[in-house]
Structure formats: structure tokens, C-alpha cells
Structure 1
Amino acid sequence: MKEFDFIRRYLHRSQADADVLIGIGDDAAVIRPRAGYDLCFSSDMLLKDRHFFGDVAPADLAYKVLAVNISDMAAMGASPRWALLGAGLPQLQEDWLAEFCGSLFVLAQHFGITLIGGDTTKGDLVFNVTIVGELPQGRALRRDAAQAGDDVWVSGQLGLAAAALHHHWHTFALPDAVFDCCERARLRPEPRVALGQALLPVAHAAQDVSDGLAQDLDHILQASGVGAEVFADNVPTLPQLHDVLDKTALYGCVLAGGDDYELVFTAPRSCRSAVAEAGRASATPVTRIGRITQDRGRLNILNANGMPVALASLGFNHFE
């Protein structure tokens, strides 16, 4: 199979989108933004042996390649609309491509995303997605809008993906049932698009948790010129992890493990009921884990006894 046969057979699918004037098949795509909306752009690259194992199932890989980008749109409160896929593939193996592309388009269709272009070349399994979303003009959730006195919230459960990775790396061993649950979270994170949109009139600042809660919350603190106090034992995780991991390992996964693709966000204390309603409306669990302080750039993480929690690192570093 040649490159353009692959594009025509697997990527050039009929996708109903009146705002796409020219899609796959030309030198560039052309889209027509809707009046009254801002466009959001984001791009993420995933490499074999850095972001995923080489033996990952193609359906799981395709899901995650797109899901991590959708999560960026969720953090902005945007609706994901269009995506471009760049892929380095060692060979064009039809069974593998059929499974990969089938999964990719199922997730894209679920979130109303149209694949409008990209590029392919021979390489050792590397993927880059550029995603474009839209949201009402001037309404984007940002990192630089947290205010002293805000509550700090997170969605879902954190630390599961990191626990699965440590099981793969033989740092510790999880019981089979616990590993299966954590592995599902690692392979199939759920982008919180509906929650992000429900938070537009409520939240001050938001960020998706990709590299670790502590590190990603710190991005908000640095951008906003504020500090935070977080209560480590309030951060939601899989209950069984409390039974099988010691505190050091548990805190490492939950607070600094990353690969969660949940949302961390801040909102005024007066909006607690509105945040809870946003969670209910989007069918997303939300948990209050701390507060924003005036201590510029200072993140204090405390245990149940009010003592500081020491972390070996705040999160994932691509160059370590």
C-alpha cells in the first residue's frame, strides 16, 4: 500500500460539517468560523516508548492520540471541532491501520470532530494531532485568572494511570482487579468536554492534568500570580489504591503521576453549589481539594495532620 492509497482508503471519509469548505484531499483545509465564536488551537505529540508502549493495541493508541488533544479543548471550555493528524508509521499494515482509524473516527464522531488533514511519513510510530475548537467569544477558561480565596477543584479520580505505569515498570505490583481498572484509565482517559463547557460561567481558571496535579496546578499559580494550599488526602483516587500502596507511593501517583486528563480548576467560594451543579449536569464527579492563597507562586500540599507532603518531583518532565 502507498501513502495516498492509505489516505484515500482510511482517512478520506465522508464527514458532514457545513463549516468545512475544503477538507482532506487538497493542499490545505478551509474552514469558515462561525460569527460570535473564538477558535482555540492546540497540538500534542506522542512518541513510542516515551508516551506509549510499542505493543499497545492500535485501537487504544488511536483513542489516546486524539483524547489527549480533546482534553486540551475541555480545559479551555471549548467544543472540539476539527483535527489534523500527523503520523510516522514504520509500515502501512492494513489490519493495524483499519483498527487504528476505526477507533480514531469513532471517538471523533462522538465529540463532533471532523478530520480535515495532516501528513504521513515512514517513521518509528510518532503521532501529532493539531486540534481546533470553538467557544463563545471572550469566554475561554484560562490559566491566568485564578484569584486569592478561590476554591481548587478537580474532576474524576487521579493517580490511576500513573499506578498502572508503575505496575508495568515493576516499581510495585497491583492486584489484578486494581491493575485492570488503572490500565483502563491509562489507555482510555475520558476528556471532560461537557464539564469544561458547564464551567464557563462559573470557573476562574482551569488546566487539564496531563503531567501531574502539582505541576499543572503550579502552571495556574505562576500564570495568575497566586499560591495554593492543597489537602493531599482530599484528592480523589481509586479507593483500592489506599489499600495496596503506602503513602509515599500513593501521593506520588495521585499528586505527581500525570496522564490523568482530568481538569483542575478554581472557582469562587460563593459558586460551590454552581460547581456541584456543573458536575451533575455534565455527569462528572468534582471534588474540592484546596484553596487559592495570596502567597505568589507557593504551592503548599498538606496531609490529613496538616503536615507538608514532600514529593520527589511535581510531575512528568519530557527531557528527563
Structure 2
Amino acid sequence: MGEFDLIDRYFKKPVRRADVGIGDDCALLSAAPGHQLAISTDMLVEGRHFLSTVNPQHLGHKALAVNLSDLAACGARPKAFLLSLALPRVDPAWLQSFSEGLFQLADLHACELVGGDTTQGPLNICITVLGDVPHGQALLRSGARAGDDLYVSGTLGDARLALEAFRGHISLPESVFADTRARMETPTPRVQLGMALRGIASAAADISDGLLGDLGHILKASGVGAAIDLPTAETLLACRATWHCPSELAHTCILSGGDDYELVFTAPTHAREQVLAASVQSQTPVTRIGTIRAAPGIDVLDEQGQALRRRFTSFDHFAAP
């Protein structure tokens, strides 16, 4: 099977929102009047971002989900995406499953594949996603202010816990492992919440490399610091309700685990009812876990309000082993 036969069989679908999709040298899209284009790209490399044993349908889902999560953090509505795919060989069964997972999520968010590239090489998936957001309403990292509340969506740490089990560092009950593995392999991009937070949240980011690391990007861009209430944050590791995860591991998973693809965001205290309404509207749970402060840095506070001395390190592609 040649390159163009591969594209036609597994990835070419009619477009409805784009002006021109796959088949020409460039796709053509029109920005809606009064809107800005939001653009983001992510690369997934076998052995670095996913295991070779992952279900290809799950991999197709995740490859797009991590990009949609960036749009969610910006408050943008998905519009279209480009797919660049390096394959060691043509495997029809793998491609069929991968494309099914990819398009199931794409169709759920009305996000059309409009172009890309394929080549032979080590398995590598690169997606560029495009969305739109009303002019001036995008959520940015630079708007947090001292006194703002600090929130996260969903749960944290489940994906890291699954990874620890894969590495053989911990043994999980079968049901817990199944749930955490699903969180690692098929994350849910919080697109609806991101759009619902327009005009409410003062700053936002998605949690891809760990809560402390991604919150740190907000704090640096905004010139502020934060205090996190650890007892509240501990409730965000979903499996703790059914299985007693050791505290040290739980703290690592929650604070620096990564691969959660939840949103961390800030909002003024007077907007608490609006944040709750956005949570209900988007059917996405949110938890207030701390406060933005004027002093730089992040303090993680224990039950007595004392800062933990332990340091937590979020994922870094070039620092990680």
C-alpha cells in the first residue's frame, strides 16, 4: 500500500466546516467574524509518550485529546486538525484501529482532519489543532492576580499511578489499575469547561506535565505565587476512596504526576458562583485547592498550614531519564 492509498483508506473524510480539506497542497479555513484562531501542536513518540503495547484505538484518541486539551485551556472551540504520522511499516489492522479512535473523538468535538503528512520511520504522531475563540476572550496564563482562587478540574494523579504500576513500582487492585490505565490512555479534554470559563477565569493552563509544573507557568506569566491546600488536593486522587495509596506516592502523583489533561485555573473570589455554574454547565467537576498570592513561588500546605519541605519535580522532556 502506497502513501496516498493509505491516506485515502484511513484518513480522508469529507469536510463540512473547512473550505478545502485533504487533497490539495493546503487546507483552507475561514475565521468566523470577530473570532481569533487558536493553534497548538503536540508530538507523541513511542517509548517516550506511550508504550508500544498500547491499544492503537486508545492511541488515536490520546493523540488528538492532548491537543484538544490545549484548546480547552485557551477557552477555544475545536475547528480542524492536521496529522503528521511516521510509521515503521504499513499495518492495516493497526491503522484501522488508530483512525477509529482518532475520528471518534474528532467527531465528538466536530473537529475535522484537513491535512498532514505521512512517512516511514520510528512511530511518531504529530497533530496540530486549530480552534476559534471570540476576539479578546481567550484564556491566557498571564491573568492571575493575588487573592484569586485556585482550581483544578476532574481528578489528578491517576495516570501517574498507572505508570508506576506499569513500571512495577507498585501493585494495584485490578479494578483500580483498569481505571487509572483508562485515565492514562484515554484522557478527556475539558473543552466544554474551557469555553464555559470565558469571562470568568483569570488564567488557565492544561495539566500535561504535572500540577506544580503547569501551575508554575501561570505564576511565572502572571508574576505571582500560590499556596496549595494539600488535604484538599489529596482528595483528587480518585482511587484513594477505594484503595489506601501511600501518602508519599499520592503526593507525587497529584502534584507532579502529569498526563492528567485537566485544567488548572484561577478566578476572583467573587466569581465562585460563576465557576460553579460553569462546572454544572460543562458537566465537569472542579475543586478549589488554594489561593494566588503576591509572593513568588508555590507553597504546599499540610493540615496545620505549614509548607512541606519536600521538593516535587514535574516532567521535563530533556531532564527526565
Provide the rounded CA distance (Å) in 2 between the counterparts of 1:34 and 1:114: 16
Taking only the aligned residue pairs, the percentage that are identical comes to 44
Cα deviation for residue 176 of structure 1 reads 1.0
1:26-65 alignment runs, 5 A limit:
26-65=24-63
Match of 1:11 in 2: 11
What TM-score comes out, normalization by structure 1 length? Answer: 0.97
Tell me which amino acid in the other structure corresponds to 1:299: I
- Conserved? CA contact 2:67–2:127, under 8 Å: yes
Quote the offset at 1:310 in angstroms.
4.1
The CA deviation at 1:243 is 3.8
Superposition pairs for residues 76-91 of structure 1, below 5 Å? 76-91=74-89
Alignment of 1:181 onto 2:179: yes
Q: Which residue of 2 aligns with 1:263?
A: 263
1:24-73 Cα deviation digits (max 9, x unpaired) = 01111111111110000100000001000011111000000000000000
Query: 2-side partners of 1:272 and 1:82: how far apart?
Result: 33
Contact 1:178 1:240 in 2 (8 A): no
Q: Alpha-carbon deviations, 1:134-177, whole Å to 9, x = none?
A: 01011100001000000000000000000000000111111111
Distance 1:27 1:84 in 2: 13
Calculate the TM-score normalised by the size of structure 2: 0.96
What is the CA-CA distance between 1:239 and the residue it aligns to? 4.2
Q: Which residue of 1 aligns with 2:249?
A: 249
How many residue pairs get matched?
317
Greater Cα offset, 242-251 or 252-261 = 242-251
How many angstroms does 1:303 deviate by?
1.6
Q: Which residue of 1 aligns with 2:219?
A: 221
The equivalent residue for 1:201 is: 199
Aligned residue number for residue 300 of structure 1: 299
* C-alpha distance in structure 1 between counterparts of 2:174 and 2:114, whole Å: 41
**Residues 44 and 116 of structure 1: CA distance in aligned 2, closer, same or farther (over 3 Å):** same
The residue identity in structure 2 corresponding to 1:75 is A
CA–CA distance in structure 1, aligned partners of residues 199 and 269 of structure 2: 14
Tell which deviates more after alignment, 303-312 or 269-278: 303-312
Distance change (3 Å), C-alpha of 1:241 and 1:218: farther
Q: Which runs of 5+ in 2 are unaligned?
A: none
Assess, with a 3 A threshold, how the Cα gap between structure 1 residues 54 and 221 changes in structure 2: closer, same or farther: same
Amino acid at match of 1:14: P
1:99 Cα deviation after fit = 0.9
Alignment partners' CA distance in 2, 1:201 and 1:138: 10
Rounded to whole Å, the distance in 1 between the matches of 2:62 and 2:56 is 10
Q: Deviations over 1:271-317 (max 9, x none)?
A: 11110111011000000000000003x11111222232344533111
Contact between 1:213 and 1:256, CA under 8 Å: does it hold in 2?
yes
